[in-house]
Structure 1
Amino acid sequence: MATKAEPTTVECTAHTELIADRMIVRLPDDASAALPSRGQIAATVTVDGAPYPTVIEPDGRRGHWIPIDDGLRSELDLAGGATVELEIEPTKEWPEPDVPEDFSAALADASDLTETWQDITPMARWEWVRWINATKNPVTRDRRVEVGVSKLRSGKRRPCCFDLSSCTDPEVAKSGKLVEPE
């Protein structure tokens, strides 16, 4: 029986981009193709020598991008268009997602779900957070929070049938695809 190969380190050179006030690094096609999934990937990314545990995001075009948080941006004094050297080491260890306040409050109000939420994998918790956050429409978002609680109560461990390879961050995406910088 064949075993799945462990992910290998991917090295590349890329450029920072600014989309609105967010800094990202869009991975070159060959680097993205070397990653183990078309969806989200937990990884330690070394950016110009600075290790940065993160979750690499899909771009909706069979590629990936890396969010650069303000701390790393400041530490490396990065500006839009800067060239960066990346070492990407996929990992099976997923960090905990930042659960949005509205969903966190709904989960806290549903005390019967505490064990269920803790029992699902961090990767699945990332999927719930992506699904909740994947809309700018407040009515849709409220509905997703409500439906999320209901689905978790019914035993669902993942949100639903949305495309895991689409870009679901409404601040940097349109129609499931990462937008181009301005």
Structure 2
Amino acid sequence: MVNILTNITALAGAATLVNIVDFKKQVLDLSNSFAINGNPIISFPEGAGQTNQAWLLTPQATAGTFTLQSVAAPSFSVSYTGAAAGVAQHSQAVASNTLATVFKMTAVGNGTVNLIDTVTGTALTSWVNANPGNWNDPTTPITMEVLNAPPSFMQSFTVQSI
């Protein structure tokens, strides 16, 4: 598992563009590419060459910590709606140009990582489609939740270079 984190750190150091892939094989997506504070970060099917689905891992002062910077809107990073108040639990992941969340990546197996907010300890979480049998919109929310409180697979992400 150390190899996974070493590889991710190398991607960050090389300023490599990445997709953050959830358990549904969908990617973190800056909704509609809008460079607006509070614009939702969602889970959406990957589209080739979509800059709103591309991210830069920006290393922070503490080893193994990163911000997720949008390629479509470079002054924006992943944050969450309650960031200003320091309330993460159940907050929607959003774009922010002032309150970038610093994530610690923890390897969890099979090439996946948890993305954990270094301030609150909550984890980026992707959700299942409410009713895939009669709901044809693949979009699902990305929120911040207590680590391993929802089923842990919902908090497992793969970082892949693009």
Query: Which interval holds the TM-score relative to the shorter structure?
Result: under 0.3
Question: Which structure has the highest helix share of the two?
Answer: 1
Q: Report the TM-score, using the length of structure 2 for normalisation.
A: 0.27
- Higher Cα Rg, which structure: 1
Q: Report the TM-score, using the length of structure 1 for normalisation.
A: 0.25
